[in-house]
Amino acid sequence: MVDWLGRSGDRLPADWEEAMARDPHEQVLIRAGFSYEGSHDFAIPHVWTIETLTGYLYSTSILSRQALRGLAPSFEKDLSVRMLRCRPDGKFHQAVRFSYQLAKKPD
């Protein structure tokens, strides 16, 4: 991914992590009038294939087909070659972590 991010152009603002730290989601929700109830994390087992991983990456803003422009076919081939080198069966097991922040509008 790192190799291809550079080819698709700079899609993230340079200071996005700093901006998120300065004004976390919790504070944004509170300013918007919500009652912040907390954040929750969980993980589920998931098996990626090269096809599902490619589809996932295309669904992101930083490695979408639009971001890659005409490089998408080369990206798919490179991703497949690299991933199969790691796992010849093409299956990648991961505990996928999810998190959410819960807020509600006061009555």
Q: What is the pLDDT of residue 90?
A: 96
Q: CA-CA distance, 55 to 14, in Å (whole number)?
A: 26
Q: Domain residue spans in the chain? A: 2-104
pTM: 0.64
Query: What are the Cα distances from residue 81, in Å, to 10, 53, 70, 86, 97?
Result: 25, 13, 19, 9, 26
Q: CA-CA distance, 75 to 53, in Å (whole number)?
A: 12
Nearest partner of 32 among 43, 41, 23, 45, judged by Cα: 23
Please write the tens of the pLDDT for every residue from 46-105: 999 999 999 999 998 888 998 888 999 999 999 999 999 999 999 999 999 999 999 999
The label of the residue with tokens 């490695």 reads 63
Please write the tens of the pLDDT for every residue from 10-33: 556 678 788 889 999 999 999 999
